[in-house]
Chains A and B, each alone.
Chain A
Amino acid sequence: MTHEHFDHDDFVHDAAEQSRPAEVTPGASAARDGAPLESWMIALALQDTDVVPTAIPREMMWARIKQQRLRGNGDAPGAAPSAAPATAHVSPAIVQRPVRQRPLGSSPWLLRVAGIAALLMGGIGIGRFLLPSSGSSRHQLASAAATTRADSITALGLGPEALAALPQSGEPARVAMDEHLARTVSLLVAVRNDETKNTPGADISGWARELLGTTRLLLDEPQLGDERTRRLLQDLELVLAQIIQVRRSAPETARAPGETMRETNLLPRMRAAVSASRPGEDFTPGGGL
Chain B
Amino acid sequence: MTFGTEADLIARVQAGEPTGEREFYDRHVDRVYRLVYRMAGRADLAQEWTQDTFVRAFEKIGQFRGDAALSSWLHSIAVSVTLNGLRSQKRRDGRLAPLDEALGIGQLPQHSEPDLKDRMRCAIDALPVGTRTVFLLHDVEGFTHEEISAQLGVAIGTSKSQLSRAREKLRMALLPFAPRETA
Contact = CB atoms under 8 A, between A and B. Distances in A.
Contacts of A13: 128, 131, 165
A69 B55 contact: yes
A119 interface: no
A264 B153 contact: no
Give the dominant DSSP class at B's interface. helix
Nearest to B182: A40
A37 B170 contact: yes
A231 interface: yes
Interface in A1-57: 1-13, 17, 23-24, 26, 29-30, 32-33, 35-42, 44-48, 50-53, 56-57
A171 B60 CA distance: 38
Given A23-B165, A61-B47, A269-B103, A10 B83 contact: yes
Contacts of A99: 87-88
A45 B48 contact: no
B44 to A, nearest CB: 7
Contacts of A45: 120, 124, 139-140
Nearest to A8: B154
Contact of A61 (B51, B161, B165): B51
Interface in B106-135: 108, 116-117, 120-121, 124, 128-131, 133
A206 interface: no
B143 interface: no
Contacts of B162: 11
A13 B130 CA distance: 9
Most buried by B among A42, A51, A53: A51
A268 interface: yes
A108 to B, nearest CB: 12
Interface in A118-175: none
A268 B104 contact: yes
A33 B47 contact: no
A246 to B, nearest CB: 22
B77 interface: yes
Contacts of A64: 51
A1 B161 contact: no
A266 to B, nearest CB: 11
Contacts of A50: 117
A94 B76 contact: no
Contact of B174 (A12, A41, A58): A41
B7 to A, nearest CB: 19
B29 interface: yes
B99 interface: yes
B85 A97 contact: yes
A41 B135 CA distance: 12
Contact of A265 (B96, B105, B121): B105
B139 A37 contact: yes
B150 A1 contact: yes
Given A41-B120, A41-B174, A53-B43, A5 B154 contact: no
A95 B89 CA distance: 15
A1 B103 contact: no
B136 to A, nearest CB: 8
B99 A38 contact: no
A17 B151 contact: no
Interface of A: 1-13, 17, 23-24, 26, 29-30, 32-33, 35-42, 44-48, 50-53, 56-58, 60-62, 64-65, 68-69, 72, 87, 89-91, 93-94, 97-99, 227-228, 231, 263-265, 268-269, 272, 276
29 contacts: A1-B73, A1-B76, A2-B60, A7-B83, A7-B130, A8-B130, A10-B130, A10-B133, A11-B158, A23-B164, A24-B161, A33-B164, A37-B167, A37-B170, A41-B120, A41-B174, A44-B117, A47-B117, A53-B37, A61-B33, A62-B29, A90-B59, A91-B52, A93-B52, A227-B92, A228-B96, A231-B48, A263-B47, A265-B44
